[in-house]
Amino acid sequence: MRLRRLTQFCLIVCAAAPLFAGGGNDSGTDRDARMQWWREARFGLFIHWGLYAVPAGEWNGTTDHGEWIRTSARIPLKEYDGFLRRFNPRRFDPDAWVKAAKEAGMKYIVITTKHHDGFCLFDTKETEFSVMSTPFRRDIMKALSDAARRGGLKICWYYSIMDWHHPDYLPRREWETARSDSGADFQRYIRYMKSELKELLTNYGPVGVLWFDGEWESTWNTAYGRELYDYVRSLQPGIIINNRVGAGRSGMEGFTKDGEFSGDFGTPEQEVPATGLPGVDWETCMTMNDHWGYNSHDAHWKSSKELIRTLADVASKGGNFLLNVGPTSDGLFPQASIDRLGDIGAWMTKNRGSIYGTTASPFRNLPWGRCTERRTAAGTTLYLHVFDWPSDGKLVVPGLLSDPGRAYLLADVSKPLRLGRAEDALVVSVPPSPPDPADPVVVLEIEGAPDISDPPVITAPENIFVDRLSVGIVSERKNIEIRYTSDGSTPGPSSLKAEGPVVLTESGTIRARAFRGAKVVSPVSSAAFTKVSPLRAVRPQGLTPGISFSYYHGAWDSIPDFAAMTPVKKGSLRNFETPRLRPENYGFVYDAFLSVPAGGVYSFFTESDDGSRLSLDDSLVVDNDGLHGMTEKRGVIALESGLHAIHVAYFNKSGGAGLGISWRGPGFEKSPLPDSALFRRE
C-alpha cells in the first residue's frame, strides 16, 4: 500500500472503468455467484501489520513513516532485520480483533500476510523472514482465520508482489547501493511467490479475497498478472481477486486502463469515485488517519461522522468500503481506531439495512446527501442518507415521480412521515432535528421500480468558446418537451423549446427542465458558458526542434520553487520525457514553444506520478500537483494560432514514476503532443 495524503471526499472521475471480467473461464452467472457475498457485504476491515509496527513511524528523529519505513527512512536490510528480535505482540487477541470488526458492522477482514518489506505474518517454509523467527513464534494468520470463522466473518489475504527483502526481487531500491543485484533471478522470485500463495490458499481453509498490491514496478507485467490470477483461482476457484494482480491500474483512482487485464474488482485508494459506475465492482480502501501501518505520532484522525458518511457515499455509488486499522507492535488496535469502530457500529446497529445488500443510487444527484436502493419482487426501498438536514422540516426529493407506499425514519420505523408534492419533487415532512448527527436515514417504500426523472443533460465541447458554441440539451425521458433559458432564469412551460443544438454567441447560463404540457416533470439543470479572447501568439527567434529541460534532486511532497534552486543537469530532449537518471526523489522543468495549428479552444492533459503542472504563456492550465500514482488532470484554454510558450514542472518522490502530456483541439482528438509541434531556443 502506498499512502497518498488525499482528503476524505476527493472525488476523481475515472478515466477508464471497464467491466471487471477477470481472467478465468467463468460465465457471467458463475462470476455473479462468486461475487455475491462480497457485493452484499459492502463493509470490511483492512489490517496493516508487520515489523514496521516496531519503530511505530519514527526513525532517526523523523516521525512521518508508516509501513514504507524501510525505504522511506532508507534502513539497511541487516538493520531492518533486527526488528525480528523486537516483534513480540503478546497482547494480540484475534477474537478481540474479530469482535471489534463485527460490532462495527464489517463482514470481512483483509490482512497483510506479507507487505512490501517481505516479512511474512504466517508460518511459511519458503523463508525465515517470518513471524516464526520472532520471539512470538506463532502463526498469526492461523489464529486470525480461525477467529474470523468463529465470528462469522470472511477471512481475506493481502499479499505484496513487490518484496524489498527477497534476493531475487527486482528492481532494488535506488538507495541500496551496497546491495548488489548480481545473480538475482526474477523468475525464481515468481516461483517463490507462488509457493507462498499455495501455502496461504491450502493451509487456512476457504479465503474470500486475495488482495494483491505492489504491482506497479517495471518487472511486473500484464502477462504475469493474468497467469497469477489463473494460478490462484486453480487453488481456490471461488476466490475473488483484485485488479492489482495485473499491471494496468491507473493510479490511486484504482481502475484498470481500458483494454488491460483487470481482475475481479477495482481498488480506489483514499478516494471515492465521483459517480456511480454501473456494471463495475470496486472497493475504496482508506485509512482512519494518515498512515496504513501504526504511527504513534499520527493524530490526524478522520472523525466518526466523516467515516460513516464515507461508508454511505461508497455504498450509494455501488462500491465496498475497506477501512484500515494499523495495530501496535503489542498487537492492540489503537484506542482512536477502537473509538471510531464503536461509533460506526452504533450507527450500523440502527441503519445497517441501508448498507448491506444495497445497490447504487438511482438518482444522478441529490443536493442534501446520498441514496442507496434495495429492489425485491415486492418493490423498491430507497434509503435517503440526509447529510444536510432541512431546517424547515421539508426534505425535497427531486425528480421522484413515484408515489411511495410509506415513509419513515430507519431508526424509528413505527412513526410514518407525511408526504407531499412540489412540482416534480416528492416532499417528506421530517422532524425539526435529525435523529442522528452523522447520517440520519429516511426510508421510502415504493411499489415496483422507482420512476425518477433526472434533469436534462446539457453538453458542449468545453465551457469556454471564442466565437460561437453549439450546446446540446437532451433527456432520456419519453413524451416530454425540454424548455430552456440562456439568461440564468428558471424555465417555464412557455420558455424556448430545445429541438436541437442551441448556439451561443455570447456568454450565458443555460438552464433546462422537462415538461409534459404545463406540468413540470424534472428538476432544473444548469451550465454556464463563457466567451473568451484567445491568448496572443508570440514570435520568438532562433528556434530549433525539441524542448529544454532542467533536472533537480530533492524529496518533495509537492512541486517546489524550482526557480530558486540550482539544477543538477540541463539539456534538451525531443519531447516531454523523464530520463531515469535516478529512480526517485527528483524533478524536471521543461520549457518549449508549442506550435498551435489553428485558433480556438484547446484541452491539455497531464498524466503523472507524482505531481505536475502545465502553463501556457504564464497562464496555469493544468494543476496535477501532489503525491499520487499515475493520475490524469485536464485544463482548457483558448489560443491564437502560432507559437505559445509551454512550461511544465514535474517531480517524483518514490515508487512509480511517469509523465505524459497530451492535447485536444479544433479538428483533432486527444493525442500526445507531437515532436513536430515543439521548439526550443538554440
pLDDT > 50? residue 505: yes
Chain segment 232-279, per-residue pLDDT in tens:
999 999 999 999 999 988 777 788 877 788 899 999 999 999 887 788
- Rounded-to-integer distance, Cα 147 and Cα 44, Å: 16
What are the residue ranges of helices labelled H in 482-536? Answer: none
pTM: 0.88
Domains in the chain, start-ordered, CATH in brackets? 11-173+188-348 (3.20.20.80), 369-446 (2.60.40.1180), 457-531 (2.60.40), 543-681 (2.60.120.1560)
203 HSE (CA, 13 A, CB side): 17
What is the 8-class DSSP label of residue 172?
A: P
Contact call for residues 562 and 649 (beta carbons, < 8 A): yes
Q: How far apart are the first and last CA of the chain?
A: 45
Chain segment 161-209, per-residue pLDDT in tens:
999 999 999 999 988 988 999 999 999 999 999 999 999 999 999 999 9
Contact call for residues 320 and 314 (beta carbons, < 8 A): yes
Distance (Å) of CA 218 to CA 193, 221, 246, 650, 658: 17, 7, 12, 20, 12
Percent helix, strand and coil across the chain, each rounded to 5?
20, 35, 50
Which element (helix H / strand E) includes 349?
helix 335-351
pLDDT > 80? residue 15: no
Contact call for residues 623 and 244 (beta carbons, < 8 A): no
Residues ≥6 apart with Cβ < 8 Å to 624: 606, 607, 608, 611, 612, 613, 614, 631, 632, 633
What is the torsional sign of CA 37, 38, 43, 48? positive
> pLDDT confidence of 25, banded at 50, 70, 90?
low
Main-chain dihedrals φ then ψ at residue 565, nearest 5 degrees: -115, 160
Contact call for residues 296 and 28 (beta carbons, < 8 A): no
What confidence score (pLDDT) does residue 446 get? 95
What confidence score (pLDDT) does residue 174 get? 82
pLDDT > 70? residue 520: yes
Chain segment 296-331, per-residue pLDDT in tens:
999 999 999 999 999 999 999 999 999 999 999 999
Distance (Å) of CA 513 to CA 153, 164, 529: 48, 58, 18
Rg, C-alpha atoms of the chain: 27
What confidence score (pLDDT) does residue 445 get? 96
What confidence score (pLDDT) does residue 249 get? 86
Closest by CA to 459, choosing from 529, 361, 370, is 529
Main-chain dihedrals φ then ψ at residue 508, nearest 5 degrees: -175, 165
* pLDDT (mean) for 349-362: 97
> pLDDT confidence of 11, banded at 50, 70, 90?
very low
> pLDDT confidence of 628, banded at 50, 70, 90?
confident
Q: In the chain, count H helices and then E strands.
A: 9, 38
Contact call for residues 70 and 132 (beta carbons, < 8 A): no
- Rounded-to-integer distance, Cα 210 and Cα 197, Å: 9
- Rounded-to-integer distance, Cα 133 and Cα 140, Å: 13
Contact call for residues 109 and 144 (beta carbons, < 8 A): yes
Opening angle at CA 33, ends 32 and 39, nearest 5: 65
What confidence score (pLDDT) does residue 485 get? 97
- Rounded-to-integer distance, Cα 509 and Cα 553, Å: 47
> pLDDT confidence of 1, banded at 50, 70, 90?
low
The grid cell for 475 is: 433527456
pLDDT > 80? residue 395: yes
> pLDDT confidence of 657, banded at 50, 70, 90?
confident
The grid cell for 300 is: 490526524
- Rounded-to-integer distance, Cα 506 and Cα 467, Å: 8
Burial class (CB in 10 A: 0-12, 13-18, 19+), 484: buried
What is the 8-class DSSP label of residue 303?
A: P
Distance (Å) of CA 96 to CA 91, 100, 219, 389, 678: 10, 6, 40, 36, 62
3-state secondary structure of 425: strand
- Classify residue 600 as left (phi > 0), alpha (psi -120 to 50) or beta: left
3-state secondary structure of 671: strand
What confidence score (pLDDT) does residue 5 get? 31
- Average pLDDT of the chain, as a whole number: 93
Residues ≥6 apart with Cβ < 8 Å to 565: 552, 554
Main-chain dihedrals φ then ψ at residue 597, nearest 5 degrees: -75, -30
Q: Which amino acid is at 497?
A: K
The grid cell for 256 is: 484498470
pLDDT > 90? residue 339: yes
Q: Which amino acid is at 480?
A: I
* pLDDT (mean) for 395-415: 93
